[in-house]
Every structure is written in C-alpha cells, then in structure tokens.
Amino acid sequence: MSNCIWHNCGSIMQQGSDIAPQAVSTRMVAGMWWFFTLIMCASYTANLAAFLTLNRLEGSISSAEDLAKQHKVKYGTMAGGSTASFFKNSNDSTYKRMYTTMSQSRPSVFVNSNEEGVERVQKGKGLYAFFMESTSIEYQVERKCDLQQVGGLLDSKGYGIGMPVNSPYRTMVSGAVLKLQEKGVLQELKSRWWKVQQGGVSCSEEDAKAPTEDSNKLGLANVGGVFVVLIAGTCAAFLMAVLELLWNCRKIAVQEKISPCEALLSELKFAMNCSNANKPVRRKLEQEDDDDDENAMPVGVSAGSFVRLGFGKLTQAE
C-alpha cells in the first residue's frame, strides 16, 4: 500500500517513481492513471492560464480610450445612427481615429439596428463591443445578464416631449414632468418597465442575490471523458488480472498435480492475507519431498550393499 501511494503521488506531481509494476494488468492500471493525471494537470494549467488572460483582458478595457488602444476587440455602432454621427463629426482625435478604424474594418462592424448589435455582442464572446444610447444600454443590460456596460457617457443628450412652437401646453407639461421627477414617479416607472416587467427579475437583482463564484472554473463536464477513460482502463486491467490469475492457477495445478479450484483458493487466500508478504511452501509438496526421500533411502542402501557384496567376492577370489 505504501508503494502504491508513493507511485500515485509521483505520477500526480509529474516526477515519476522508482517503483514500477511488472504484471500486464498493473501496468495497464498505471498507464491509465498516468494518462488521467496528465490530462488533469494539463487542463488545470490551461484553465488557469486562460482565466488569468481573461481577467487581464477584462480589466484592461474600461473606457472608449482603452478600446481605441487595442486591436483584438472590434467595436461598432448602428449605421447612420446618432452615435455613428457623433464619432464621425467629433472634434476629439480619439473618437475620429475610432471612426476611421470602424470604417476600415472588414468585415464591417456597423449593423442595421440596435437589436442586431446586441445579438452580435452576444455571439462575439467578448471580442465585439457595440456603442448605442445609454438608456437603451441600461434596458438591454437589465434584460440580458450576459451583457455588460463599460465606461461612462461619451456624449450627454437628453430626452424631451416634442411640441409645436409657442405651444400653450409647454409650461404645464414641463412643470408636470418636474413634479413627477421630484416625487420619484419617473424612477418608479423606470424600475417597473426596465426591471420588473412581466413579473421577471432584473439582472442586477440576480447578481445581488447570487453568490460570488468564478465563472471560468473547470467543471466536471469539461473533464468527464478522462474519468470515463480511467474507469474503462481500470475495468480492462481488472479483467486482465483475472485472466492472469486463472492462467497462473492452471500452471500451478499442472505442476503440483492438484485441482485448479484448490490452486485458486490457495492463491486467493494468500492475496487476501496482507500481513504476510512471503508465500509459504505447500504441504503437499513437502509430503511429496518426504516420500521421495524415503523411496531414495532403500535404493541407496541396496546400492551400498551391492558394492560391499561385490567387493567381498573380489576379496574371496583373490
């Protein structure tokens, strides 16, 4: 048992062991175990490297300027929209450079609608960013938990109620909107239609309730095939061990002239006895050796008598 533990620990640590199995079945078990530890260590190393790389990538992009400094994550807007016009007509050199990059990107990073842009972000797996109005972004982020809003506002624009010029209702509507905002009615309406529409739960509430855990952990489903190979290899090695035991019992039965069942029982008894590492000599062999010695002694005596008798005849003849 101590040798098995030492062999397995050496395999996991990728250091090997000076103890090597000899039988075919135990070599099969050792080979499956080496394959299992190799895949597990390689998977852990690859998952750790990917996790560190992803965290570094996510932490490096926190604003539009960070997007402009890198070339791995593509970004775009709705074609012909107000956001695209902002980048196109902006006097800021960074935003101008970003619009030039978007215009020269192939395939095109522009989309025909905000819905198409959101779908492209979801399919991009972190390699595509989409610019659109902050209110629409808040709505999409509350509805789809796999989306994330990065950075602050690029250009602040407000919403209003359109009325004819010199309309007599302008002052009353403006005052009513201010009263609703002061009483918190507008915030309640936003929460109702943004977060709890149709009785659902918003993503922000789910994130607050959900326990903090690593989303990039290596699950059992990712390495399930390795366990299947290990179990299948162990079963095959067990069958091989049974065949080796039966073949060995047959050889013992032939050599010692006993029944195969007796040989099998004696081998199983010795295998189950973990306190004794030395196999005792069989009693039948000892009895046969004693019988052979007894049979050999009269022959030796007769031979000696024959020699003395012959010697005596020679003496008398002389």
144 and 78 assigned to the same domain: yes
Final residue of a structural domain among 248, 272, 296: 272
CA nearest neighbour of 109 among 132, 136, 129, 89? 129
Residue 166: inside a domain = no
Q: What does the block give as tokens for 118?
A: 């959101």
Percent of the chain surpassing pLDDT 70: 75
43 and 120 assigned to the same domain: no
44 and 73 assigned to the same domain: no
Please give the pLDDT value at position 153.
Answer: 78
Residue 169: burial class (beta carbons within 10 Å; 0-12, 13-18, 19+): exposed
Residue 191: inside a domain = no
26 is in an annotated binding site: no
Residue 265: inside a domain = yes
49 and 69 assigned to the same domain: no
Please give the pLDDT value at position 29.
Answer: 81
Q: What does the block give as tokens for 222?
A: 């990712």
* pLDDT band (50, 70, 90) for residue 306: very low
256 is in an annotated binding site: no
pTM, entire model: 0.44
Final residue of a structural domain among 135, 151, 167: 151
Provide the β-strand partners of residue 129.
75
Is the model more confident about 224 or about 254? Answer: 254
Tell me if the bond preceding 168 is cis, omega within 30° of 0: no
46 and 118 assigned to the same domain: no
67-71, 195-199, 267-271: which has the highest mean pLDDT?
67-71
Is the model more confident about 204 or about 26? Answer: 26
Q: Where are the beta strands (DSSP E) in the chain?
A: 74-76, 128-130
* pLDDT band (50, 70, 90) for residue 248: confident
Q: State how many domains the chain has.
A: 3
User: Above 70 in pLDDT, residue 301?
Assistant: no
Is the model more confident about 6 or about 54? Answer: 6
13-22, 177-186, 270-279: which has the highest mean pLDDT?
177-186
* pLDDT band (50, 70, 90) for residue 236: confident
* pLDDT band (50, 70, 90) for residue 317: very low
**Rounded CA gap, 238 and 83, in Å?**
68
Residue 34: inside a domain = yes
Mean pLDDT of 283-309: 45
Please give the pLDDT value at position 277.
Answer: 63
Q: Who's near 75: CB < 8 A, 6+ residues apart?
A: 67, 98, 102, 109, 128, 129, 130, 131
Cβ atoms of residues 263 and 256 within 8 Å: yes
Cβ atoms of residues 244 and 24 within 8 Å: yes
* pLDDT band (50, 70, 90) for residue 146: confident
101 and 34 assigned to the same domain: no
Where is average pLDDT lowest: 8-22, 31-45, 258-272? 8-22
- Assign residue 87 the CATH number of its domain: 3.40.190.10
Please give the pLDDT value at position 208.
Answer: 55
Residue 96: inside a domain = yes
Please give the pLDDT value at position 190.
Answer: 80
**Rounded CA gap, 49 and 40, in Å?**
14
Residue 119: inside a domain = yes
String of b and e for 131-168 (b: at least 16 CB within 10 Å)? bbbeeebebbbbeeeeeeeeeeebeeeeeeeeeeeeee
Please give the pLDDT value at position 314.
Answer: 40
48 and 81 assigned to the same domain: no
Please give the pLDDT value at position 205.
Answer: 62
CA nearest neighbour of 138 among 119, 153, 116, 120? 153
- Residue that has been written with the tokens 């936003």 in this structure: 190
Average pLDDT for the chain: 75
Please give the pLDDT value at position 312.
Answer: 40
**Rounded CA gap, 148 and 137, in Å?**
9
User: Above 60 in pLDDT, residue 59?
Assistant: no
User: Above 70 in pLDDT, residue 278?
Assistant: no
82 is in an annotated binding site: yes
Please give the pLDDT value at position 20.
Answer: 77
72 and 143 assigned to the same domain: yes
Q: What secondary structure, in 3-state letters, does 28-59 show?
A: HHHHHHHHHHHHHHHHHHHHHHHHHHHHHHHH
Residue 183: inside a domain = no
Please give the pLDDT value at position 279.
Answer: 63
Residue 195: inside a domain = no
38 and 106 assigned to the same domain: no
Residue 314: burial class (beta carbons within 10 Å; 0-12, 13-18, 19+): exposed
73 and 134 assigned to the same domain: yes
116-125, 150-159, 226-235: which has the highest mean pLDDT?
116-125
Q: Who's near 119: CB < 8 A, 6+ residues apart?
A: none
Q: 102 is in which domain, residue-wise?
A: 64-151
